[in-house]
Each structure stands twice: as structure tokens, then as C-alpha cells.
Chain A
């Protein structure tokens, strides 16, 4: 039910065709969520002002952390769900759905209560100044009040996917982007709600789609629906799904810490607008990273199955094709960013100073983008062939082994430029490590293919 293709096709069908077939839905979903963030920033930048973009950037770690809590429940639930559906155990699957529903409400509400009570101290710690705090506070206030909706919306979307309705999940994502794009200018330019207008647009678009999802999950004629009596939390379901979700939660939480350190470095050495510049650069970079990530996800089942089946030539082929596609995407980003950095930045703001800062930052961050695609694919590749230890090591080397020390040391010497240069430095270093690991793996494949 959860597999689109029979395993045999993964082992025989044309690799390039398979890759596109698996990657395109992932790319659409990834790009959509990236566009979501971009539209918010664009309307806030033009409708509210340059400092509002800085305020928005200060909220990134809090948004990441909320997403991390989402994955704490979501990933485990999706895993448990696919196990039960594989066994046609609809009884337990329904209980999982009911439990996840309640867990998301509890976690969503707790996050709102805790963060809202300490919102200002948290934002100051994240690098807010008296000038940017009001924007970050106003935005976060609305987002936090709608946090339960966001949690349930993302949680149910993951469950739509794992219950064999990936196309419905995609509609939900695309529709929420669309509603967000329509409401954002309405609230900001017509109703003059400022930065809160954008937050309301986000929450309302997710609420609308949540209602639609609940409607789907209330259909009693389907195997899995929100059934009376499934909402009482069961220890086993809660413990199992949380313990599966703990690892992805920690990975997401780690990336949240990194963003905090980046923002702190920027505010300390460059001031409020430097944070805003990072907000813009982050949105741009994310778009290309997400598209590459889509290719990675398309690669996973193909590389995984063929590695398992011992067809190493096909494993190598899909790896090469994915690296090629990811490199093209990242190089495109590199080209656009290096050639027209000011044009890209001015999509988000009209403030001359902010445009200059963002353009400079963009140019620095993108330096090694043509090889970053390769680095991302390698880490995902090791994951998909079951060598999760190597995958973890690679993603940890970039974030913790290279980026973290760079962020702590370089700004001391080079000031705000040091923060910017930390990122390409970590990219280059981790790409070298990836290259060494993948080359030695490639040699092993060659030997195994001969044997």
C-alpha cells in the first residue's frame, strides 16, 4: 500500500526513468514548502520593512524547533503506520491515527504555552534587539497561537502519505501555499496588519487544509479514519512512536542550534540588518537545497533496493545520475546568485543597505555550491544503502565538526564576514570528507561487482 512500485521494477526498470518518477513528487512538495517561506519573506520585506525581515529571521530557530517537535511524533507515527498497513492491521492503524491526533494536540499546545511564556527572553537570546524584537514577537505570537493547527496539519499530511494517499498530501501542500500567497498581500497591503498579517495568512491557510484533511480522515468507508474510541493514548503507541522520532528530533534540534549561533554572530558583528540579510540568503539557498533534496529522496528507494539485490552497477548508475542532477540544480543557484545577487536580494526588499548586505552574503555562501550537491547526495546515499552510521557521520561533520568551530572562531578574526565565510568553509571541508568516503565505497562496489 505504501509502495508505489513493486520492488522488482526497482531492480529492472531504466534507472533514469525511475529516478524521475520517484523524485518529481518529492521535488514538488519540497519546492512548495520552500515557496511558502519565500512568499512570506517577500511580502513582509515589501509590505512591512527591512527590519521586519530581520525580525522574521530571528524566528527561524523557533520555527525549526516546532518542526522538530512535529517530527518527534510524525516520523514514528508514519513508521508504525506503514508496519500496520503492511499487515492489513487496520484496527491498530486506526488507534495509531487517533493517538497521533491527540499527541499532536498535546505537544502543539505545550510548545505554545512554554514558548509564549518566555517569548521575549528567548528572542533576545536568539539575537533580537529592541528594534527587531517587536516584529519577531508579533509574528511569533500569532504563529504560536496557531501552533496546534500547524502541528496537526503537518502530522496528518505525513499520515496521508503513509496511508497511501501521497497525491492528496501533495494537494494539501500546494493548496496551502496558494491560499498563503493570496492572503499575504490581502492582509499586509489591504488590511495593513503588518508582520502579523503574514502570520495570520500562514495559520489560516493551514487551518483550511486541516479541515479538509480531517474531512478525508472522517470518511468511514475508508480503512483508516478518525474513529471513536481510538483517541485514548496507549502507552505502547506513544512510547514506540516517540522513541523512533527521537533521533530525527535531535537532528532537527541540532540544526536549530546552528541557526541560533549564526544569528547571534551576525547581530554581534554586523547588527540587525545582517540578520535580515541572512534571512533573505537563507530563503534563496533553501530553495535550491530543497530541490536537490527532492532528487535525493527519489534516489533512496532505487539505491536501497539495488544495493540489497547486489546490483552494484545500478547502484553506481543511480548515484552518478543523482549527483549530476543535484549538481546542476546547485550550479544553477550558484550562477544566478553570483551573477545577479542584487536582483535576487531585491525580490525581498527595497532597502538599499539590506540589498547590499544580502547580495554580499549570497555571493560568499554560494562559493562552493557546485560541489555541495555532491556532498548532500553522498550523505543521503549512505543512508539509503543502510550505512546510516556513515550518513550520520557525514551530516554531523558538516554541522558540528566544521561549521560550529568555524562559527565560533572565524567571526572573532574577520567579524561579520567570518560568519558568512564559515558556511562555504564547512561546505568545502565536508565535501572533501564525503569525496574520500564515497571513493573508497565506489572501489568496494567495483570489487564486489567483479566478484
Chain B
């Protein structure tokens, strides 16, 4: 148990193009711990024996929209019995969250997205951070990273934000991107990526009582 107290987890929620993933990467490498973003899919697939493509399809997607419900077809006519449709979004969420809990039990690490803050809500050594950025910066970053025009990037941002919000709100019982859902919310445009990392690092050290770095 004493070992467990040394471990900690950083959960990063982020708007698309806010630099959240990059900030997570820098935090992880500075603190010498692992970072899990898309890697979770690979691990969840391996743990469960289910194909990677299924996790990719439902990655950070909620399942409760009407069309989703219709296509999810959870029940049969003559509804006495609730049908356990094995390949449904809820199953994948459960598998993925088990993986997140297992990883956080084994080592200190950074999780990007996927409701890690909710999944690890009972872990007192989990720091929950949300990264935003100014609209222009986000569009610029997405356009550059994904090789899109500015208009297309703006469209993509709107779509992804909506998707992530639906996913987060459905599974976590909290509201995506709202200050009350996290310990710390930062706009990365204000200080720039590197300074934001340093700032967040200071917050994490204080919260967890880690020795101040440098």
C-alpha cells in the first residue's frame, strides 16, 4: 500500500487543437512517466482479445443519440429481457476504463481524454486538468497538423468538440470543459505551450506534495 501512495496520475481533457496532447507529452517526459492517449486502444484490444478496429470505431463517442440508439438496437420486440449486445459502446467503455484503472494501479502516468478523470475519481492522487486555447491558435494548429484549410480545420474543431462533449457528458456525469469538472483549467494561448507546462507542473507538485523541481 505504501508503494501505491508514491504513484500519481494526471488526467488531461482538451479541446481539439489546444495543444493538450503536446502538453501531456511534455509533462510525461519531464516527470519521466508514461503517457497514454491512442495507445489505450491497443492495450484494451490486447487485454480483451477484441479487434482494434472496434475500439477505434467507438473511440470517444457517446452512444445515446437517437440514431445511435436505433442503430444500436438494444432490444427485441417482446421486451421481457434486456439484451446484452456484446459489441456495444458501453462494453468498450467498460474494457477501456478497466485498462485505465489497471495502468494507474501499476505506475504513474498521464492519460489524455477518455474520461480518465471520472474513471479515477476515487484516486486521491489523480490531478485533473483541462486545456483550452484561443480559437485562432486552435484552427492554426489543427490546419497544420492535419494539413487542412482553415475553414475545414474550424469545421473539424466544432465537430470534435461536440463529439467529445457528448462522450464525456454521457459517461462521466459531469460537463465537458466546464471548470467545475476539473481541478485546473488553462488556456494554453496565454503563456504558450512550454510555459503552460511549467505552470501546470507547479500545480501538480503542490497538489501531490512532490518535491519542487528546480
Contact = CB atoms under 8 A, between A and B. Distances in A.
Interface string B41-73: 000000011110010000000001110011111
Interface stretch (A245-253, A343-351, A354-362): A245-253
B75 A30 contact: no
Contact of A296 (B76, B88, B97): B76
Interface in A5-51: 7-8, 10-11, 26, 29-30, 33
A244 B64 contact: yes
Contacts of A236: 169, 173
A202 interface: no
A75 B93 contact: no
B86 A300 contact: yes
A388 interface: yes
Interface in B77-116: 77-88, 90, 93-94, 97
Given A87-B97, A293-B76, A247 B69 contact: yes
22 contacts: A67-B79, A71-B79, A75-B79, A78-B82, A79-B90, A158-B82, A236-B173, A243-B64, A245-B69, A247-B73, A247-B74, A248-B73, A255-B77, A290-B78, A293-B76, A300-B86, A304-B86, A305-B86, A305-B87, A308-B49, A309-B48, A388-B72
Given A75-B74, A300-B86, 13 more contacts: A79-B90, A87-B97, A244-B69, A245-B69, A248-B74, A248-B79, A251-B73, A293-B78, A300-B84, A303-B86, A304-B85, A305-B86, A388-B72
B119 interface: yes
A297 B86 contact: no
Interface in A293-316: 293, 296-297, 300-301, 303-305, 307-310
Interface of A: 2-3, 7-8, 10-11, 26, 29-30, 33, 67-68, 70-71, 74-76, 78-79, 82-83, 86-87, 89, 92, 154, 158, 161-162, 173, 236, 240, 243-248, 250-252, 255, 289-290, 293, 296-297, 300-301, 303-305, 307-310, 380, 383-386, 388-389, 391-392, 395
A393 to B, nearest CB: 11
B203 interface: no
Interface string B108-146: 000000000011000000000000000000000000000
A8 B95 CA distance: 13
Contact of A300 (B78, B85, B90, B171): B85
B83 A300 contact: yes
Contacts of A244: 64, 69, 72, 74
A247 B66 contact: yes
Given A300-B86, A308-B87, A30 B73 contact: no
Contacts of A74: 79, 82
Nearest to A290: B78
Contact of A392 (B65, B73, B97): B73
A78 B88 CA distance: 13
Contact of A297 (B83, B170, B171): B83
Contacts of B76: 293, 296-297, 380
A386 B87 contact: yes
Nearest to B55: A308
Contacts of A250: 70
A310 B64 contact: no
A358 B63 CA distance: 45
Given A300-B86, A384-B85, A75 B66 contact: no
A323 B31 CA distance: 57
A296 B85 CA distance: 11
Given A296-B76, A304-B87, A389-B71, A7 B48 contact: yes
Contacts of A300: 83-86
Nearest to A240: B64
A386 B75 contact: no
Contacts of A240: 64, 170
Q: Which 9 A-B pairs have the closest CB atoms?
A: A304-B86, A308-B50, A386-B87, A247-B70, A248-B75, A86-B94, A71-B79, A247-B69, A388-B73
Count chain B CB atoms within 10 A of each CB in A29, A304, A389 and give the residue with the most. A304
Contacts of B77: 251-252, 255, 395
A330 to B, nearest CB: 15
A380 B81 CA distance: 14
B190 to A, nearest CB: 32
Nearest to B70: A247
Nearest to A75: B75
Nearest to B65: A243
Nearest to A302: B86
Nearest to A296: B76
A71 B75 contact: yes
A293 B83 CA distance: 11
Nearest to B57: A386
B200 to A, nearest CB: 26
Contacts of B74: 75, 79, 244, 247-248
A162 B82 CA distance: 8
A305 B78 contact: no
Interface in B14-38: none
B51 A309 contact: yes
Interface string B160-174: 000000000111010
A83 B90 contact: yes
Contacts of B72: 244, 247, 388
Given A29-B80, A75-B75, A158-B82, A392 B87 contact: no
Contacts of B66: 243, 246-247
Nearest to A234: B173
A293 B81 CA distance: 10
B165 to A, nearest CB: 13
Contacts of B81: 26, 29-30, 161, 297
A11 B49 contact: yes
Contacts of B69: 243-247
A61 B170 CA distance: 34
A105 to B, nearest CB: 19
